[in-house]
Amino acid sequence: MLKITQMNDTHFLFRFVNEEQALEILNGGKRWFNDNFLFWTGGQSMSDVLIHTFPNLLNYCLPLTR
């Protein structure tokens, strides 16, 4: 189960269950989140960097674009 914690007005901490869930969510595009759209602009290249650099770290802080 994905856990999301709001860090401040524009940053959220996403705690992923596994690498597959992280890749699915970090793939980019629009996601419906808390009655608003979440626009993730990092795309696949960012998820590749995060997962290959930190293979055991499944916590990422994502900025929201409003």
pLDDT at res. 12: 74
Look up the pTM and report it.
0.42
pLDDT tens digits in sequence order for the chain, 66 residues long: 778 788 777 777 778 788 777 777 776 555 555 665 555 555 444 444 444 444 444 445 455 444
C-alpha distances in angstroms, 28 versus 12, 45?
A: 16, 10
Structural element, H or E, at residue 48? helix 43-53
Separation CA 53–CA 31 (nearest Å): 25
Give every CB contact of residue 62 below 8 A, 6+ residues apart in sequence.
11, 12, 14, 38, 40, 42
